[in-house]
Structure 1
Amino acid sequence: MSGATLAAGPRIPKHIDETHGEKYDRRAGDTAGLGGIMGSLRVIELQLVAFIIVFSASGLVPLLDLAFPVFLSIYAFLLSALVFPNYGNAESLQVFKGNRLFQLYVVFGTVIGLFLPLAYVLGGFARNDQDSVRAATPHLFLLSFQVLSENLISGLNIFSVPVRALLPILYSMRRLFSLNGWVISTWFTNKVGQDIRIQDEYWVYFGRALSAANAIYYTINLFCFLIPMFLPRAFETYFNDRAQYQAEHPKQEKSSMSSMLPSKLPVPSLLKKPHSEEGKKSEEDKKSS
């Protein structure tokens, strides 16, 4: 969800001779530990689809946030088809290797970005706190779409590394606006009264801490991980793969065009006649002289 799924590389097949169209069961490199925290990808994807449908039908997500994933999906396909075609294999799509610190970073983002906001929204429904639910739902909706997109892209292996890097960056930039609205709602709109119950006071503080933690985490993730680290390495890997592909498959347009042209162009007969007539006149002049 923080782009770490795509940065760690795709799931690679069980056997080397399997094609990329078949099923994948583990990730490249030493990132297999990430699968334990995320569980079964199929179950997670079905749950995310259910969350997206519920959030879309609830009317709590703004129209711009509903249209953004559709626009971004179309944009990613256009980039992959027209600008950044995929030249690399599954191993080249692995930008970072998942060490222990990297796994803890992913786990922390999963907990504060997905699980706790989901509990916060469900608790808001149970407490009939419409303001808290309306403030947290856009972030949770966009993050669910982002996780679903990252899992599908990582499994299908059809997008190049630059598209994989740009996708979480664009999602994160959009979600920062949603997180800004959540922070404003919890810290400035929902104020703690004098005669408030202790449970309600704890609920307000929980919302404030959660919104601030998400805003800080995803701001750092965008400006300290995705843009300065993931994006440059993704483009470097892509250009190396493209150079290697062009070296192995050189363009033969010039040779094919030269083979189509004849070696000697025939001289038109109309151009030969004047020269032959001039030759006959010169011979007649010599004889007369």
Structure 2
Amino acid sequence: MSGVQLATAHATKPDNTSTAAAGSASGGGMMGSIRLIELQLVAFIMVFSAIGLVPILDLIFPAIITSYLLMLSRLAFPGRAKTKEIVKCTGMLRVYSIMGTVIGLFLPLAYVLGGFARGDNEAVRSATPALFLLSFQILTENVISGLSLFSAPVRALVPMLYTVRRLFAILDWIQDVWYNKSLDADAHIQDIAWYWFGISLAVANLAYFSINIFAFLIPRFLPKAFELYFKERYDETGAKLSDYKHQDKKFD
């Protein structure tokens, strides 16, 4: 949905045989359908939450968003989604999605792990909130995309709401690495490279996800979701009306 989710979904999508085998081995149910990437994201979320690197606002944000989406699915945009894919991931969109996965997920994760290895607690603390929010976003999108309970507009709001909040976390990240962190005069080449890697990565995340929301999610993804939703509702209403007219003719 958001570009990042599309890329991870295509990268980890199992074939029908492996899916059936996994479901049989686990006895069915929710855990039988959870992919490896989702288990890894759950692990990241639990670790980040347990070691106190995520602010309290970011910790409660997923719960607030989930509650809000459930209310929207019942009150504002009810109905079941007949089409799981809102925008087809082909061509340049696939490349764009892979870029989002690398910039938003893999490189920040490498940066956080590198910060642990180097003992750079400031780097870990500054990059973790954005990575935590993205992990929760991908997990939420993957779970929702596997359920027909949520309509297309509700699904489209997931990446939009998370991206808006994550942009503020990225701005704090940039402030930490650019203004609150400095190099010593006798810094080694590794320290200089690490310093500029952190700055470049934070700026790249800000640029990518700003483009993502203002050039893709708002002008293309959200209108497509509403178009799909109202088309499905119109077809459903038309089918019911046609069935009613057919039944009415039988009584004439």
2:112–2:123 Cα contact (<8 Å) kept: yes
Match of 1:249, SS state, is: helix
Cα distance in 2 for residues equivalent to 1:213 and 1:167? 22
Cα distance in 1 for residues equivalent to 2:4 and 2:190? 36
**1:80 aligned to 73, 77, 87, which one?**
73
**1:225 aligned to 216, 220, 235, which one?**
216
Cα distance in 1 for residues equivalent to 2:43 and 2:228? 35
Equivalenced residues, count: 227
Instruction: Determine if the alignment matches structure 1 residue 120 to structure 2 residue 111.
Output: yes
- Structure 2 residue aligned with 1:142: 133
Cα distance in 2 for residues equivalent to 1:208 and 1:49? 27
- Structure 2 residue aligned with 1:180: 171
Deviation at 1:106, TM superposition (A): 0.8
Partner amino acid, structure 1, of 2:141 = E
Partner amino acid, structure 1, of 2:92 = L
Deviation at 1:202, TM superposition (A): 0.7
TM-score w.r.t. the length of structure 2 is 0.83
Greater share of helix residues, 1 or 2? 2
> Which deviates the most, 158-167 or 95-104?
95-104
Q: Please, which runs of 5 or more residues in structure 2 have no aligned partner? A: 22-32, 244-252
Deviation at 1:231, TM superposition (A): 0.5
- Structure 2 residue aligned with 1:132: 123
Match of 1:151, SS state, is: helix
> Which deviates the most, 72-81 or 95-104?
95-104
- Structure 2 residue aligned with 1:277: none
**1:164 aligned to 152, 155, 165, which one?**
155
RMSD of equivalent CA atoms:
2.7
Deviation at 1:186, TM superposition (A): 1.1
The equivalences for 1:46-125 within 5 A come to 46-90=39-83, 93-125=84-116
Are the structure 2 counterparts of residues 24 and 227 from structure 1 closer, same or farther at C-alpha, using a change threshold of 3 Å? farther
Over 6 Å off, 4+ runs: none
Q: Please, which runs of 5 or more residues in structure 1 have no aligned partner? A: 15-22, 26-39, 253-289
2:48–2:132 Cα contact (<8 Å) kept: yes
1:3–1:168 Cα contact (<8 Å) kept: no
> Which deviates the most, 190-199 or 226-235?
190-199
Partner amino acid, structure 2, of 1:62 = P
- Structure 1 residue aligned with 2:2: 2
TM-score w.r.t. the length of structure 1 is 0.72
Deviation at 1:3, TM superposition (A): 4.7
- Structure 1 residue aligned with 2:35: 42
Cα distance in 2 for residues equivalent to 1:74 and 1:24? 32
Deviation per residue, 1:35-55 (Å, 9 max, x gap): xxxxx9611011000000000
Are the structure 2 counterparts of residues 251 and 54 from structure 1 closer, same or farther at C-alpha, using a change threshold of 3 Å? farther
Match of 2:179, SS state, is: helix
